Structure 1
Amino acid sequence: MREDNHTSYRASSHDLPFGRRRTGLPESAGRLLKKAVSKSRKGEVPSQRDNYEIVEELRFLHGVTSLLAIAGIPRASYYKWRATQPQRAAKQNLDHELKEHMMAIHFAHPYYGYTRMVTGLGEAGHIVNHKKAWRLMKDLGIQSVIRRKRKVSNYTPSVVYPNRLKRKFHATAPQQKMVTDITYISDGSKFYYLSVIQDIFNNEIVAWQLSERNDVELVLDTVEKWTRKRDVAEAVLHSDQGFQYTSAAYNKRLETFGVKGSHSRKATCLDNACVESFFSHLKTEKLYLEQCKSGTEIHQAVEDYIYFYNYQRFQSKLKQRAPIEYRCALAA
């Protein structure tokens, strides 16, 4: 089979289709096909899928039989490709949706690699494997931002409480078992830190505080808001072993109000799964969608979502009621 000196395409039905063939197709149509290939790939060699798509686009103008002859595509192969179009379209739509979620996650957590991206997508209800996450991240041109290694801390905890919760995420009344934690939120240029206290009885967020500093004052202010509104004596307040929660000031504040401290084991986030779940909902249902550009916008978004979460977000665990509705119904 001879080679066309004017293009890089061979007239082979398997290698480089749309070569010149004696098919009876008008010369103008042949030129149109060449132009379509060149325009679609800027002179690159088209793939078999590209050729299928070109035939599909031009079939009403020139007829499938002639186009397939020029492309060197077997008729059966083309119709098999057409029959699987709906599945491919559905896959493309799913990939597009996943990419939107991945961009939102990357915006909030720029240091996430593909392994953590899989976890983040899973929390949003999208189960994908590591290979697919890597491929989609490559398509999007995103990769993790390497953080500088933190210096080894010489901090010695003042108090470490026993784990009184022991993953028993059930309470028979309000203010029995509480969980607290901190998450960070980015506005694209800096981080803000959100501290919350959640009641395991009905998942209600009973206190929260947003700050530009992740320090002991942040958790003390959150505890202060909680104790102002409720009688908290004898309540268990569970947290991880972060430096804020093992500080002398935190311990003293709990003792003042008769609260029993409780700590997770080191590096065991599942010991505090309830509040981790809330943070996941907050980010996927609100923050990733709005992509706040300032601390003021973040504060408003958090305030709006917590109101929605407490008063309007129905939960199967609460018999399809929102947290405050559930608490009020049982108190009636």
Structure 2
Amino acid sequence: MDQIRVDQQNLPKKERYGIGELLKTIDLKRPTYYDERKRIINKNDKYADVKVVIKEIAEKGKWRGSYIYGYRRIMPLLEKAGYHMAEATLRRLMNELGVQPAMYNRRKNNHYSSYKGTVGKVADNLLNQTFDATSPFTVLHTDVSQVRLGDSTWAYMSVILDQATKEVLAASVSQSSNKLLIMDTLSQLEDNLPNNFNPIIHSDQGWHYQLDYYREKIDSLGLIQSMSRKGNCLDNAPMESFFHLFKVESQPEIKKCKNISQFTQFFNKYVNWYNNDRISNKTKNMSPVDYRTHVLAA
């Protein structure tokens, strides 16, 4: 290495040698040179150890090849591992490692509205933007959203989410936002909702949530209906957040889906990853399923 690290700064540009020529002259393989160079650099880097941990955390949070975890989620995990640093330092190191999550424009997401005025019964807003549930199966949220697939058709997603754990308890996909989509989601919830729980289920004022078939089904499940105010998406913020995360974390893959069957398979994989692997600061840096298990066992 000392033979390579010669000072060529004072030599005329035409007399300087490229790294390939130098390596050939001393009969040193290029991979060996770069391995040694990396070792020397790391030896003088006081952040070398913590960079390894940052990289490991970021890799665990990857979804379909993209980094998902920002510095706010990595920071507490670093502190748990015994590393303490300023936010600015962590962000700089993440940038150096190339593990910063991609930034997206929220306005580019396809917004879906099922509001058609008052076509049935509108329930009271029991939450009033109070999203502080800590016990599983006490407050649920539901909504429908849409994405455009690679073949230019629309896919509709109906989801029911637990406010406390962020866990997706039911999710259904269809080419149409109709009664079958909504009822299939409720059937899944019926299978996943433990006995002796009577949670609030909050939605917007979409037409299907106002009709008798929906209200009768949730009543049979012992659910208490709540609805957002007209045209106020913040009243159902947990659902808005989930759909936003799905769309920004999966944009390239959604476009690769050429039909509803491919999208359904992909969406189910995302939900499984989201429930079992994706950590959140709001759930004490645990996945939704781990957090639910932790809370119920306490």
> If the length of structure 2 is used for normalisation, what is the TM-score?
0.59
Residue of structure 2 aligned with 1:301, choices 261, 266, 270: 266
Structure with greater Cα Rg: 1
CA distance in 2, matches of 1:278, 1:172: 18
- Whole-angstrom distance in 2 between the partners of 1:214 and 1:230: 23
Question: Where does residue 170 of structure 1 map in the other structure?
Answer: 132
Q: Which amino acid aligns with 1:191?
A: W
The aligned residue for residue 216 of structure 1 is 179
Q: 1:127 Cα shift?
A: 6.8
Structure 1 residues 329 and 162: alpha-carbon distance in aligned structure 2, compared to 1, 3 A threshold: same
Equivalent position of 1:189 in the other structure = 152
8 Å contact kept, 1:216–1:247: no
- Contact residue 193 and residue 212 of structure 1 kept, 8 A: yes
CA offsets per residue over residues 254-279 of structure 1, 9 Å max, x none? 11111110000000001111111111
* CA shift digits 1:218-244 (9 cap, x unpaired): 112111110122236421000000101
Q: Secondary structure at the match of 2:208?
A: coil
Question: Which residue among 195, 200, 212 is the counterpart of 2:163?
Answer: 200
The higher-RCO structure (CA 8 Å, 6+ apart) is: 2
Q: How does 1:258-269 map to 2 (within 5 A)?
A: 258-269=222-233
Runs of 4+ more than 6 Å apart: none
Q: Does 1:327 align with 2:292?
A: yes
- What code does the residue aligned with 1:199 have? D
* C-alpha distance in structure 1 between counterparts of 2:186 and 2:253, whole Å: 29
Q: 1:244 to 1:290 in 2, by over 3 A?
A: closer
Query: Structure 1, residues 121-174: CA drift from partner, whole Å, max 9, x if none?
Result: xxx74579x9xx9xxxxxxxxxxxxxxxx9x96x64221110011111121311
Name the SS of the counterpart of 2:125 in structure 1.
coil
Root-mean-square deviation (Å): 3.0
How many pairs align? 194
Hey, what does 1:229 align to over in structure 2? 192
Shift in Å, 1:210: 0.5
Unaligned runs of 5+ in 1: 1-59, 62-123, 134-149
3-state SS in 2 of match to 1:245: helix
Partner-residue secondary structure (3-state), 2:209: coil
* Distance across 1 between alignment mates of 2:252 and 2:207: 28
Unaligned runs of 5+ residues in structure 2 are 1-12, 15-101
In the alignment, the residues of structure 2 paired with residue 320 and residue 179 of structure 1 have an alpha-carbon distance, to the nearest angstrom, of: 21
- Helix, strand or coil at the partner of 2:273: helix
Please tell me whether residue 180 in structure 1 is matched to residue 142 in structure 2: yes
1:284 paired with 2:248, answer yes
Counterpart residue identity of residue 206, structure 1: L
Which residue matches 1:271? Answer: 235
> What does residue 209 of structure 2 align with?
245
* SS of residue in 2 equivalent to 1:218: helix
**Aligned-pair distance for 1:293?**
1.5
The aligned runs of 1:1-332 (5 Å cut-off) are 125-126=103-104, 156-187=118-149, 188-231=151-194, 233-291=197-255, 292-332=257-297
Contact 1:238 1:264 in 2 (8 A): yes
Conserved in 1, the CA contact under 8 Å of 2:142 and 2:201? yes
Q: CA deviation at 1:217?
A: 2.4
* Counterparts in 2 of 1:263 and 1:172: CA distance versus 1, 3 Å: same
